[in-house]
Amino acid sequence: MQQASGHTLKAFDEDIERLRALISQMGGLAEHAIQEAMRCLVDRDLDGALRVVEDDQKLDALEIETERRAVQLIALRAPMAGDLRDVVAALKISGVVERIGDYAKNIAKRVPQLENVGKIEPLSLLPEMARIAMQMVHDVLDAFVERDAEAAVRVCERDNAVDDFYDSIFRTLLTHMMENPHTIGQAAHLLFVAKNLERVGDHATNIAEMVYYAATGTHMADGLGRTVR
Amino acid sequence: MQQASGHTLKAFDEDIERLRALISQMGGLAEHAIQEAMRCLVDRDLDGALRVVEDDQKLDALEIETERRAVQLIALRAPMAGDLRDVVAALKISGVVERIGDYAKNIAKRVPQLENVGKIEPLSLLPEMARIAMQMVHDVLDAFVERDAEAAVRVCERDNAVDDFYDSIFRTLLTHMMENPHTIGQAAHLLFVAKNLERVGDHATNIAEMVYYAATGTHMADGLGRTVR
C-alpha cells in the first residue's frame, strides 16, 4: 500500500479481500463443474450434464461482477505498485477461471454423444487426469489468495503430469479407433475431452504465472515450471 | 475524459492511442501467424512451421508490454468511466490476441505430423475456414480501434459461418477415418486444427463483447451475435 492514510489502507484491504473472495468462489464453481462434468460422463448422467451447462452462467455473472469491482477499486482507491498488480491479476485470473468453466461446459455437452459408449480404456484414465488438473486449479487459486509465488511455481511443475496423461490417452484412443472403426465418433469426442482437461492444466499454469507476477513484480522465467526439479 | 486539464487530456489520448497501436500490432502478428501456419500445413513447409512457433515469442513479449503500459497508464493518468473501460479492454484483449497466437503455434506444431498426409478433403476446406476466422480477428480489432460497437456485433454474427465449417469438417474427417483407418492419426491432428480455428472464431467473438462493453458501458446480450438477423 502506498497510501499514507490508515483509513484508505483499511478500505483498500477490504476491497481486495472481497475481490479475492470472489475469485475463490469462482474457483470453487469451476472445480465443481469439472468434477460434475466428469462424473456425468462416467455415469452417463444426461440431466446432470445439462445442469453443468446451465450453471456455467453463474461463472459468467461472477466474472462480470469481478471486473466491475476491480475497475471500481482502481477508480476509487488508485492503488499503486504491488496493490495495482494484485487488482490487475484478479481481473485477468477471473477471465481464465471463466474459461476453465467453459471447458467443463464443453465436456458436459459431449455427454449425450457418449451415452452409449462401450468399454473404452481412457474412460477410466480421464477422471484421474481431471483430478490432477482440478487440484492444480485449486492450489493456484490458494496461491493467489496467499500471494505465494513459490506455491505458484510448484503448480506449474505439475502440468507435466497432465501433459503425460494427455499423450497416453491420445495414443490409446487412436489405437482404439483403428481397432474399432465403428466407435470413431465417440472416441473423437473423448479426444476432445482429454484435450479440454489438458487445457485446464495449461490455464492453471497461466494463472500461476499471473500469481507469480502479482506477488513478485517479475515474470516467471518461460517454461520455469517445466525445467525446475 | 474526466480530467479538466487540456494537458492531461492530451497525455491520456496519446497513451491510449499507443495502447491501441500495440493491440493492432499484436493483431497483425496473430493474423499473419494463422495464415502462415495454414500455408505451411498445406505446403508441408516444416521450416516455415518452425518459424511460426518461434515467432510466437514476439506476441508474448507484446502482451507483457501492453500490460505494463496499461497499468502505468492507470497509475499515472487515473482514467475514469469510459477511458478506464478502454484501458481495461486493451488489457483483456491483448491476452486474447496472445491466445489466438497460441492456436496458430499449435497448428504449426502439427505440420511435421502431417508431412506425409495424403489427399484428405478437409485440407482444402481448412484454409477457407481459417480465412473467415482471421477476417473476424482483423475486423474486431479494427472495431476496437474505432470504438465501433455496431461493427463488433457484426463480427459476432459471422461466428456461425466458422461453426458451420467446423461441423462440416468434423463430420467429413470422421467419415474419412472410418474409411481409411490407417490415416486416423493424421486425421485426428486435422480435427484439432479445425477445433483451433473454431476457437479463433470464438475468441474474436469474445473480443467483440469486450469492444462492445468498452464502447457502450453495457454488456452485449448473451448470444446476441447468434440470434440477430
pLDDT at B3 over 80: no
> Does A1 reside within a domain?
no
3-class secondary structure, A42? helix
Q: What is the pLDDT of residue B222?
A: 52
pLDDT in tens, A63-88: 999 988 998 888 788 888 888 889 98
Residue-averaged pLDDT of chain A: 89
In the three-class reduction of DSSP (H, G, I as helix; E, B as strand; rest coil), residue B80 is classed as coil
Which amino acid is it at B19?
L
Domain that holds residue A56: 6-227
User: CA of B184 to nearest chain A CA: how many angstroms apart?
Assistant: 7
In a domain, B47, yes or no: yes
Residue B95 Cα, gap to closest chain A Cα (Å): 8
Q: What is the length of chain B?
A: 229
Asked whether the beta carbons of residue B174 and residue A184 sit closer than 8 angstroms, the reply is yes
Comparing B129 with A123, the larger pLDDT belongs to: B129
Within-domain flag for B217: yes
Domain total of chain A:
1
Answer yes or no: do A170 and B188 touch at CB < 8 A: yes
Contact criterion met (CB < 8 Å) for A181 and B181: yes
Q: For an interface test with A, which of B80, B88, B167 has the most A Cβ atoms less than 10 Å from its Cβ?
A: B88
Q: Is A210 exposed, middle or buried (0-12, 13-18, 19+ CB in 10 A)?
A: buried
Higher pLDDT, A224 or A141: A141
> Is the ipTM above a cut-off of 0.95?
no
In this structure, is residue A34 part of a structural domain? Answer: yes
Give residue B87's Cα distance to chain centre.
19
Cell numbers of B49, please? 512451421
**Which chain A residues are within 8 Å of B78, Cβ to Cβ?**
75, 78
Q: Across the interface, which of A74, A188, A222 has its CB nearest the CB of B191? A: A188
Residue A223 included in any domain: yes
Does B71 contact A84 at a Cβ distance shorter than 8 Å?
A: yes
Q: Is residue A172 part of a domain?
A: yes
- pLDDT of A196 over the 50 cut: yes
Q: With 90 as the cut, is the pLDDT of residue B99 above it?
A: yes
Residue A196 belongs to a domain: yes
Residue B1 lies in a domain: no
Q: Say which CATH number the domain at A55 has.
A: 1.20.58.220
CB B125 within 8 A of CB B198: no
Interval A149-189: pLDDT, tens: 999 999 999 999 999 999 999 999 999 999 998 899 999 99
